Amino acid sequence: MSNDDLQGREVIFEFTQIGHIVKVTAMDVKSKTEIVMQGPTTVPQKMLEKNALKKLEYVLSKNGLL
């Protein structure tokens, strides 16, 4: 699995800080599949986005949507 699997697909990210935690929501627009994960506020946003993208890719693959 690589980020190339999501090439050409629109993914929407939402970051919500709750205390010392950041809730990350990623949604694949084409399949309307959404994942939610969380991480500490000390982690860079790019890393949280990358991890959310990997989780979304895993869920899409598991459900046969990739």
Exposure string of 20-51, with b = 16+ CB inside 10 Å and e = fewer, is eebebbbbbeeeebebeeebeeeeeeeebeee
**Stretch 8-19: mean pLDDT:** 96
Q: Say yes or no to pLDDT of 43 above 50.
A: yes
**Residue 3 in tokens:** 């980020």
Q: Say yes or no to pLDDT of 1 above 60.
A: no
pLDDT value, residue 47: 98
Judged on CB neighbours under 10 Å (0-12, 13-18, 19+), 64 is exposed
pLDDT value, residue 4: 66
pTM: 0.88
Q: Say yes or no to pLDDT of 62 above 70.
A: yes
